[in-house]
């Protein structure tokens, strides 16, 4: 690389950093997007979202439950209505969290690229989108529909999870998306001359997953302190994660709900 080319590249990277860290145009919004199955929502989701909201100075975070997630076994997913109600109960008292049913309104599988294209119309520039994603999910990103396009539409905020480390992510970003991504240690972000930034957020590590919660419930064990109390009450009342008559009455599972 010539000296001239190198310095131009450094300039571009500096601009890329300023893009999200520097002064924002008055009136522009920094919108956090938190997509997931939320089957059920738990403190791992809620605490990390709260930390990202503060650390990146976001205007708000929109939780977007996937209606028909392309990457998960649908027989284990309770209906959208149940997952939505639990999210309502979980975030209702937080003024900077809100919920969107944008993916439930669209027919077919819930692809993030379609959601982001819709959101870009609702929040055009100079507002910007920040897509929150656990490091486990980020490592699967190349299996997502039009995954390269996602990096033009939104910044990513990768959330630390126990057992995963960032070096593999850096390799993936450079080999699969663009080798022009550079890690800026002081800002904990990967900057790119033209694509959006990718942040790495070392949130409090909470080894909680929806899978574990479903396992505990079906084994008749306590989920206290893993989910907000109103969510726990809802799960206990409806038996949605228990394969008994009461659970069937609420027709929790997605396939069953759809075939009725
Ligand atoms: P499951 O166990 O059913 O796969 P999950 O607990 O990973 O579910 P999802 O609804 O699939 O929850 O997660 C939505 C997003 O939240 C994903 O990007 C996931 O990586 C992230 N996430 C889930 N749990 C945590 C956690 N404890 N800490 C940080 N991020 C998390």
CATH of the domain at 73: 3.40.50.620
Q: Percent of the chain having pLDDT more than 70?
A: 82
Phi, psi of 208 (to 5 degrees): -125, 135
**DSSP run (H or E) holding 15:** helix 3-21
- Of 100, 20, 23, whose CA–CA distance to 60 is shortest? 100
Please indicate, yes or no, if residue 215 is contained in any of the structural domains: no
**6 CA from centroid of ligand 1 (Å):** 39
Domain extent, residue 81, equals 26-206
Distances (CA, A) of 96 to 47, 54, 59: 13, 10, 7
Q: How far does the centroid of ligand 1 lie from the alpha carbon of residue 49, in Å?
A: 11
Does residue 8 carry a pLDDT above 70?
Answer: no
Higher pLDDT, 107 or 41: 41
For the chain, how many structural domains are there in total? 1
Per-residue pLDDT at 18 = 44
Distance CA 66, CA 62 (A): 12
| Residue 108: inside a domain | yes
Residue 19 lies in a domain: no
Read off the pTM.
0.87
Tell me whether residue 64 is in a domain: yes
**Which residues lie below 8 Å from residue 189, measured CB to CB, with a gap of 6+?**
17, 20, 183, 197, 198, 199, 200
> Higher confidence at residue 74 or residue 128?
128
The interaxial angle of helices 229-238 and 80-91, nearest 10 deg, is 150
Stated as kind and residue range, the H or E segment containing 65 is: strand 60-65
Query: Which residue has its alpha carbon closest to ligand 1 atom 7?
Result: 209
Distance 210 CA to ligand 1 centre (A): 7
Judged against a pLDDT cut of 90, whether residue 103 lies above it is answered with: yes
Nearest CA to ligand 1 atom 22: 134
Q: How far is the CA of 9 from the centre of ligand 1 (A)?
A: 36
Residue 255 covered by a domain: no
Whether the CB of 208 sits within 6 Å of ligand 1:
yes
Nearest atom of ligand 1 to the alpha carbon of 160: 29
């Amino acid at each position: 690389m010539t000296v001239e080319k190198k310095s131009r590249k450094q300039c571009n990277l500096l601009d890329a950093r300023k893009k999200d860290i520097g002064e924002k145009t008055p009136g522009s919004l920094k919108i956090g997007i938190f997509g997931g199955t939320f089957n059920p929502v738990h403190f791992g989701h809620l605490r990390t979202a709260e930390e990202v909201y503060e650390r990146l100075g976001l205007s708000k975070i929109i939780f977007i439950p996937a209606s028909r997630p392309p990457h998960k076994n649908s027989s284990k997913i309770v209906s959208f209505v149940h997952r939505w109600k639990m999210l309502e109960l979980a975030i209702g008292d937080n003024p900077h969290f809100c919920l969107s049913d944008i993916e439930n309104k669209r027919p077919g599988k819930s692809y993030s690229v379609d959601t982001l294209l819709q959101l870009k119309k609702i929040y055009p520039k100079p507002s910007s989108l920040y897509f929150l994603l656990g490091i486990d999910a980020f490592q699967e990103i190349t299996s997502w529909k039009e995954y390269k396009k996602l990096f033009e539409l939104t910044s990513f905020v990768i959330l630390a999870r126990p057992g995963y480390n960032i070096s593999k992510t850096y390799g993936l970003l450079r080999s699969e998306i663009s080798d022009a991504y550079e890690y800026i240690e002081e800002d904990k972000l990967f900057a790119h001359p033209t694509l959006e930034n990718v942040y790495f957020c070392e949130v409090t590590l909470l080894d909680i997953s929806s899978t574990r919660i479903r396992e505990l419930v079906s084994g008749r064990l306590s989920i206290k302190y893993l989910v907000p109390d109103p969510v726990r009450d809802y799960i206990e009342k409806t038996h949605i994660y228990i394969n008994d008559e009461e659970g069937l009455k609420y027709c929790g599972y997605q396939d069953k709900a759809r075939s009725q």
